[in-house]
Amino acid sequence: MLPGPTSEEWIAALRRAVEVQRKVFAGHVGIEARTQYEGVGEGGDNTLVIDRLCEDDGIGRDEVAVFYRTNAQSRVLEDTLVRFDVPYQVIGGTKFYERAEIRDAIAYLSVLANPADTVSLSRILNSPRRGIGNTSEGRVLAWANTMGITPLEAIEGVERVRGLGTAAIKAIGRFAELIVSLRERAERRGPVAELLESTLSESGYIEALEAERTVEAEGRIENLQELVGMAGEFDVSSGRRRVVLARGATGLGPEGYDLTISSGAVKITAESAAGLFYGIQTIRQLLPSSVEHPAALSRALRIPAGQIRDGPRFAWRGAMLDVSRHFLSAGDVRGFIDLLALYKMNRLHLHLSDDQGWRIEIKSWPSLTAIGGLGEVGGGQGGFYTQDEFREIVSYAAARFITIVPEIDMPGHTNAALASYGELSCDGIARAPYTGIRVGFSALCVERDTVYRFVSDVVREIGALTPAPWIHIGGDEVEKISHDAYRAFIERVQGIVQSHGKQMIGWGEISPANLSPATIVQHWKRDSSFVHAARGGKVILSPSKKLYLDMKYDSATVLGLKWAALIDVRDSYDWEPGVYLEGVAESSVLGIEAPLWSETLEKRSDFEYMAFPRLAVVAELGWSAAANRTWENFRLRLAAHGPRLSALGVNFYRSPQIPWLQ
């Protein structure tokens, strides 16, 4: 069912288009249409390749990416489209022509040019890939259609996986597509069902996740399969080519993986789903950066053969976003999470409250967001996450093996709360909203019982939004309270956090309080973290001179602050977490985390500019063994990430220390 011309006028326009095409190609027009999984077809010289018309490819329903095989052809096409007044944009060397019209025009053209192509074209235009999401009859038929198998075979496939959740079925659908594509390229050997079955059973992965049966697990399958799909395009010599995911002992720890790439298969073995996920991320990094752009996905991709046995050095590999000083939408946070996943980071700490804004809905204290959520630094609009939005962020992150760590900063950094509820101050008077960037001036009234009721309500509500065991209570930069009163406050809050079944995390300042060894201290400047290490507690390292992503790169950097240091890429790389703090041995270091404070950052691209490429440094410090890293080697590897970050649309700082590849 091709979308036909919709009016007389259209038919005329299409005819003209056909004529132009015929002329420019001297009467020879071939059309080839393909989806991501159909491999790279061998069109003739004048083949027009219509690529990926699926909305779930991120291109959008009415957009078309058109590639020509040679530059000359691409110029011809461009001329043609310009003549027909079709706007286009160039992304990563690929031209995108928007509008449903051009899609229809090309479809129509294809019918005239080569009726045999109608079938494959309609497969794409009807985009059955969108439909592989549930077991309803229509979907199964669509699935069968995509795979080129009979509806009965498709139903059998679904039967076999009946009982799995929607996402799992979707994932299997994708797997199936992948297999079909590989099989097509191997000239249709063996029945589809057999291949599907053997790949699934060898993986053991679906079953393992099925055992978990959680929403997160389903999200993970989906994400994993998406990425496997990307790897599915690898171009190796003919034969049965497969991606195999296996759960099994590797001796590489719970997050480690063993990746073997040979001409016959790509195999990842890991003890946990997280390990498989990281193996996939490595495949992703081994593939050319063009895979990061939807338009480039169906090119022939080559992946080097070899074996990688890999596992992380630290359990905590984190970043922090300060969404209080300037608010970031949930969508922007998800975008950031995607980037963390690429670099195998596993914690995202969200600094949800500060003097300038309260960013999370608390149902028992509604004014926190109704009043405290309104502003931000500089007087902008602010904002907050509803609990539902926050839950979505949590599960989006979990699907990428990233744990969200929520922070409510107290007893200082609380002006937004004090502006919302006067009873949290000792004088009972609500504070005015604050839009500046000073610190240290606000404090909860630590003598008031109301304050502890408030803390308990907040911890309970936030704790319920995330399955993670941690609540970060800030505790930094308190100038308005005596040391004794501060310590007593921290101890009481620790009890509250524990009473809600969570472990407390706090900034370095909390160390002198009588902390449980299960509490975690986050070092950021000279402090007494060693006291906590001595009592058997764990420390997260966020040294401001090394890991503060809000510090300027050099004196010419416009964004950011510089109170701790100027931190170019090498400064953040050249240090050793295992011996950084006296009295905090490597065994006490839980891991590292890079905070991105947002006093000067207004929009997502500002956040990205400060985070990248330094976040790649953090990833390496968190993951690689000290013996395996040197600056000279790192800077060359990082250089290759320039095109990848560009393809992902990340606004990153092109440090002159790195010989960036174009």
CB nearer to ligand NGO: pick between 233 and 599? 599
- Mark 191-220 with x for binding to ligand NGO (rule: CB under 6 A) and - for no binding: ------------------------------
Q: What is the dihedral of CA 456, 459, 460, 464, to 10 degrees?
A: 180
Closest by CA position to 242, among listed 164, 189, 295, 163: 189
548 near ligand NGO (CB under 6 A) = yes
- Give the nearer residue to ligand NGO in terms of CB position, either 160 or 545: 545
Q: Which residues contact 220 (CB under 8 A, 6 or more apart)?
A: 209, 273, 277, 398, 399, 400, 401
Binders in 56-85 for ligand NGO, by CB under 6 A: none
DSSP lists the bridge partners of residue 204 as 246
CB of 269 to ligand NGO, least distance (A): 40
Quote the tokens at residue 219: 């999200």
Work out which of 476, 571, 593, 620 binds ligand NGO, going by CB under 6 A.
476
What's 38's DSSP letter?
G
By CB under 6 A, the residues from 305 to 344 that bind ligand NGO are none
# of chain residues touching ligand NGO (CB under 6 A): 10
Cβ closest to ligand NGO, residue 52 vs residue 349:
349
Q: Which of 37, 97, 365, 597 binds ligand NGO (CB under 6 A)?
A: 597
Amino acid at 508: G
CA–CA dist 613, 293 (Å, integer): 19
Tokens 């990842």 correspond to: 268
Compute the least distance from the CB of residue 508 to ligand NGO, in Å.
8
Residues 414-473 that bind ligand NGO (CB under 6 A): 439
Closest residue to bound ligand NGO by CB: 597
Residues in the chain: 662
The sheet carrying 94-97 orders its strands as 30-34, 47-51, 64-68, 94-97, 88-91
Asked whether the CA dihedral 276, 282, 287, 292 is positive or negative, the reply is positive
Q: Which amino acid belongs to residue 64?
A: V
Beta carbon of residue 650, minimum distance to ligand NGO (angstroms, whole number) = 22
**Please, what is the minimum distance in Å from the beta carbon of residue 334 to ligand NGO?**
23
Strand bridging mode 403-410 / 470-474: parallel
**Distance of alpha carbon 316 from alpha carbon 322, whole angstroms:** 18
277 binds ligand NGO (CB under 6 A): no
Among 98, 389, 423, 477, binds ligand NGO (CB under 6 A): 477
Q: Determine whether 483 is exposed, middle or buried from the number of CB atoms within 10 Å of its CB (0-12, 13-18, 19+).
A: exposed
477 catalytically annotated: yes
* Least Cβ distance, residue 352 to ligand NGO (angstroms): 13
Asked if 593 interacts with ligand NGO (CB under 6 A), we say no
Nearest distance in Å: CB 607, ligand NGO: 14
* Catalytic hit among 156, 226, 477, 602: 477
Sign of the Cα pseudo-torsion (199, 205, 211, 217, in order):
negative
566 binds ligand NGO (CB under 6 A): no
Of 271 and 355, nearer to ligand NGO (C-beta) is 355
Instruction: Yes or no: say if 546 and 571 are a contact pair by the CB < 8 Å rule.
Output: yes
CB of 95 vs ligand NGO, minimal distance in Å: 42
Binding residue for ligand NGO, selected from 63, 310, 550, 606, defined by CB under 6 A: 550
Select 170 or 326, whichever has its Cβ closest to ligand NGO: 326
Does 565 bind ligand NGO (CB under 6 A)? Our answer is no
Which one of 86, 252, 561, 640 is in contact with ligand NGO (CB under 6 A)? 561
Which of 542, 540, 567 is CA-nearest to residue 552?
567
Strands 589-596 and 316-322: what pairing?
parallel
DSSP designation for 612 = T
Q: What is the DSSP string of 522-574?
A: EE-SS--HHHHHHTT-EEEE--HHHH-TTB-SSTT-SSSB-SS----HHHHHS
Omega cis (within 30) before 411: yes
DSSP 243-277: EEEEE---SS-TT-EEEEE-SSEEEEEESSHHHHH
**What one-letter code names the amino acid at 127?**
S
Instruction: Supply the minimum distance, in Å, between the C-beta of residue 555 and ligand NGO.
Output: 17
With respect to ligand NGO, which residue has the nearer C-beta, 473 or 647? Answer: 473
The smaller minimum CB distance to ligand NGO, of residues 32 and 476, is found at: 476
Verify binding: residue 117, ligand NGO, rule CB under 6 A: no
Handedness of CA 578, 621, 351, 471 (dihedral sign): negative
- Amino acid letter, 288: P
Residue closer to ligand NGO by CB (options 112, 439) is: 439
Cβ-based nearer residue to ligand NGO, 323 or 462: 323
3-state secondary structure of 623: helix
Please say which residue, 63 or 606, places its beta carbon nearer to ligand NGO.
606
Q: How far is the CB of 325 from ligand NGO (least distance, A)?
A: 7
Q: Give the three-state DSSP class for 662.
A: coil
Q: Per CB under 6 A, does 108 bind ligand NGO?
A: no
Phi and psi based region of residue 88 (left: phi greater than 0; alpha: psi -120 to 50; beta: remaining):
beta
φ, ψ for residue 162 (rounded to 5)?
-60, 145
Q: Which of 343, 524, 609, 652 binds ligand NGO (CB under 6 A)?
A: 524
Closer to ligand NGO by Cβ: residue 308 or 565: 565
Q: Measuring CA to CA, how many Å separate 421 from each of 353, 429, 452, 480?
A: 14, 8, 14, 19
Shortest CB 563 distance to ligand NGO, Å: 6
Give me the least distance between CB of 566 and ligand NGO, in Å please. Answer: 13
| 503-522 residues near ligand NGO, rule: CB under 6 A | 507
Which spans of this chain sit near ligand NGO (rule: CB under 6 A)? 439, 476-477, 507, 524, 548, 550, 561, 597, 599
Q: Which residues are catalytic?
A: 477
